[in-house]
Amino acid sequence: MIVECVPNFSEGRNVAVVDRIAAAVPAGLLLNRTSDLDHNRSVLTIVGPPDAVATAAFEAVRIAVECIDLRSHTGVHPRLGVADVVPFVPLSGATMEQCVGLAHDTGHRIWRELAVPVFFYESAALRSECARLENVRRTELDPDLGTGRHPTAGACVVGARKFLIAWNINLSTRDVGIARRIAHAIRESSGGLPAVKALGLNLEEQGLVQVSMNLVDFERTPMGVVFDMVQSLAHEAGVEIAGTELIGMLPQSALDGCGSRDMKWLNLGSDSVIGTGGIAKHFRANMLS
């Protein structure tokens, strides 16, 4: 039985802090690590047996709470806390119900031991208004556990969900309005592509703007379809795609669905692609390496 946890931390610039957070995860469980300067955010991909993954995720959150002060945090990505989101994903032999249990247990531990208020989202949500992460971020809801916010760590959003692809497309312009209009056009909540979430963000460090996306079901809307629509809308606005970035990992089948397109990858490597044998095979290979 194998599950995945993909905690997102509000630190992407201080390498020493990110190193400490990553070091809390046993090497055999940590499959991937990604940081972004403009987002000021880092994402870990933790894969393994349920109890081991939950323990590793909690220890990483504990270090983040010790090391990061949200009061001095700046970055373009929305966030509620230093350990912003902690989603559990069922993989080989695991069920969504089991991941919901892991999310609830971990959330209670975060509140009990770290005094950080917790929201539960997606399949672990206890309230319908918290099912979607964007609703938790933009509304003044009380946490499911605790009250208010931790003075330096904010709040933590813990959940259970299906596998998603976090993917960014950078545009060769400083006009963030273009990125926001494209994000509005492609995201499902605005009447765009099914199973696509998107934001338009400004990347000051790079002098670019970005369409930052979560593809929550790449089989319903393949990456190639999203790329083609973003490229078409960008061309209409007179700008080019400067490159695309993967955050975390993606299945080989999602990459195969891109066909012969030049996806203008900036950071795609063999360690970020889950092979055709599935993530269980990928995890076992990582444990043996």
Q: Quick: pLDDT tens for 259-289.
A: 899 999 999 887 888 864 555 555 555 554 5
Give mean pLDDT, residues 42-58: 97
Asked whether residue 281 is assigned to any structural domain, the reply reads: no
Co-location of 135 and 169 in the same domain: no
Co-location of 196 and 80 in the same domain: no
Co-location of 154 and 174 in the same domain: no
Co-location of 154 and 170 in the same domain: no
Q: What percent of the chain has pLDDT over 70?
A: 95
Asked whether residue 37 is assigned to any structural domain, the reply reads: yes
Range of the domain at 216: 165-274
Label residue 90 left, alpha or beta by phi (over 0 means left) and psi (-120 to 50 means alpha): beta
Summarize pLDDT for 205-235 with one digit per residue, the tens.
Answer: 899 999 999 999 999 999 999 999 999 999 9
Question: In the prediction, which pLDDT does 147 show?
Answer: 94
Answer with the one of 160, 184, 203 that is the final residue of a domain: 160
Asked whether residue 92 is assigned to any structural domain, the reply reads: yes
Q: How far apart are the first and last CA of the chain?
A: 20
Give mean pLDDT, residues 94-105: 97
Q: Which DSSP string corresponds to 152-167?
A: TTB-EEEEE----EEE
**Size of the chain, expressed as the number of residues it contains:** 289
Helix residue ranges per DSSP H, 88-174: 96-114, 133-138
Co-location of 138 and 227 in the same domain: no
Global pTM reads 0.88
Amino acid letter at 135?
N
- Which of 107, 137, 146, 143 minimizes the C-alpha distance to 124? 107
Question: In the prediction, which pLDDT does 272 show?
Answer: 85
Answer with the one of 115, 137, 160 that is the final residue of a domain: 160
Q: Classify residue 127 by its DSSP letter.
A: S
Question: In the prediction, which pLDDT does 146 show?
Answer: 97
Co-location of 169 and 233 in the same domain: yes
Give mean pLDDT, residues 39-48: 96
Beta-carbon contacts of 142 under 8 Å, excluding residues fewer than 6 positions away, are: none
184 in catalytic set? no
- Which of 276, 167, 139, 279 minimizes the C-alpha distance to 230? 167
Give mean pLDDT, residues 105-113: 98
Identify the active-site residue in 39, 73, 77, 108.
Answer: 77
Summarize pLDDT for 125-160 with one digit per residue, the tens.
Answer: 999 999 999 899 887 899 999 999 999 999 999 999
For the cut 80, the answer to whether the pLDDT of residue 256 exceeds it is yes
Confidence of residue 247 (pLDDT cuts 50, 70, 90): very high
